[in-house]
Amino acid sequence: MGAVNITGIGINADGGRLNGSLLTLEEDLAFFQQCGYQAVELSVPGLDLIVRGKVHQTRLDRVRAITERFPFEYSIHAVSRLNLAFGPEHELEKDIFAATLEVCEALGARTMVYHSGLIALERVGALLHPLPDSDGVERAREQEVTALRELMPLAAERGITVAMENRDPHPWEVAVLRREGRDPTELPFFHGGLLIPNLIAQIQAVDHPNLGICLDLAHLFLATNHLGLDYLEAVRQAAPWVRHVHANDNFGVLGDAFDGLADRNPYGEG
């Protein structure tokens, strides 16, 4: 096994908690420093840094004035809905991706986290798009690869690694498949981002040294338990490609009809 280069142990500055508040950002960063963390992950939507595919420069300057006062190594999490495969406005998706790289550069972040775009059911669930057939799924895969080939040089020239994050299953996806008359066991076909081999295939197709995996261990535990796969084998598959890790915890039990943690925690769901 090769040497492992760990640059720091960090914590997520939760975007929902920040909700655009720079005062909360400053208070949280001060607390994280007291706790002894070396790194912090910031979310683009939590700080209102991008509007219609463009960086909100005044806002970014205000955020940078806060972040540069702390000794953290920062990573940036792109907006979770960013999707280079199935996004409805592909050029806008690419603009948002490029703008996120600008945010990374401005804040000194060397890693940008991007959720795998291989999830086809979000707009189907909202009745905005029909369920894609196999050709549609393949076109989306190819579209993501083509877009990343175009965008990765922008990351490289800024010294940024893009870490593609594996995704987690949701009960609403199972409900959508049932509504569409499909077997829930087909979920991995319509949500390819659940499977590590699919991420590896995309990364190999893009073939750029600055593109790797963000291994979300909690997402993976949910996915492998739900799909009946070997969790540790999936970790082994991902290991050579991992550039960033999200470590949190769950019981490997898919959620039910309730979204709030207060309702889910007593049941150990989600």
DSSP line for 63-79:
HHHHHTTS-PEEEEEPP
- The whole-model pTM stands at 0.95
C-alpha 132/C-alpha 121 separation (Å) is: 9
Whether 160 contacts 105, CB under 8 Å: yes
List, in order, residues 6 or more apart from 35 with CB less than 8 Å away. 11
User: Given the DSSP bridges, would you call strands 73-77 and 54-55 parallel, antiparallel or unpaired?
Assistant: unpaired
Put residue 64 in one of left, alpha, beta given phi > 0 → left and psi -120 to 50 → alpha.
alpha
Give the pair of three-digit tokens for residue 117. 């775009």
Can you say how many angstroms the Cα of residue 227 is from the centroid of all Cα atoms in its chain? 20
Alpha carbons within 13 A on the beta-carbon side of 82 = 29
Q: Alpha helices of 130-269 — where are they, by DSSP H?
A: 134-157, 171-179, 187-190, 196-206, 217-227, 231-238, 261-264
C-alpha 177/C-alpha 190 separation (Å) is: 9
Mean pLDDT of successive 10-residue segments in the chain (270 residues)?
Answer: 77 96 98 98 96 98 98 98 97 99 99 98 95 98 99 99 98 96 97 99 99 98 97 98 96 84 86
Give the pair of three-digit tokens for residue 143. 């579209």
Q: What is the pLDDT of residue 262?
A: 84
Domains identified in the chain and CATH numbers: 10-169+188-216 (3.20.20.150)
Amino acid sitting at position 261: L
C-alpha 265/C-alpha 260 separation (Å) is: 9
Q: What is the pLDDT of residue 1?
A: 46
